[in-house]
Amino acid sequence: MLFQKLILAGVLFLLLTAQTPIQKKEKKEDQRFKANNSFTAPVVKVLQGDLISVELDGKTISIRLAEIDAPEIRQPFSRQSRNFVEELVLTKRVTVVVKTFDLFKRVVGEV
């Protein structure tokens, strides 16, 4: 009898606590990073021929250049590719049109 009461009390406890939703703090999604939205920011670094970093609201954000396939580091012409992009955009303000995100959660966009 005591065992049955303990089981019943445990089941009631689980049912009552399961009804209480856990409050999660939802991150505010930055509307600038939605597809087809755009933002303007200065380029602070060129990492590869198809990857730049911009500074936005005090944060550095990596931008993968959409529709560009540049050589990876240590592949032939990777340094030339990076240097070319540096000459074009380094320290300049660019407008980025967001297209999507890649596997590393970087913005893929047109500059």
pLDDT digits (tens, 9 = 90+) for 47-93: 999 999 999 999 999 999 999 999 998 999 999 999 999 999 999 99
Q: Provide the pLDDT for residue 16.
A: 64
Residues labelled as active-site residues: 64, 72, 106
Helix (H) or strand (E) holding 26: none
Q: Which amino acid would we find at residue 109? A: G
pTM of the model: 0.70
**Mean pLDDT, rounded, of the chain:** 85
B/e letters for 53-89, b = 16+ CB within 10 Å, e = fewer, are bbebeeeebebbbbeeebbeeeeeeeeebbeebeeeb
For 87-111, the DSSP string reads: HHHTTSEEEEEEEEE-TTS-EEEE-
Q: Is 5 a residue whose pLDDT tops 90? A: no
Give the mean pLDDT of 4-12. Answer: 73
Q: What distance lies between CA 6 and its chain's CA centroid?
A: 49
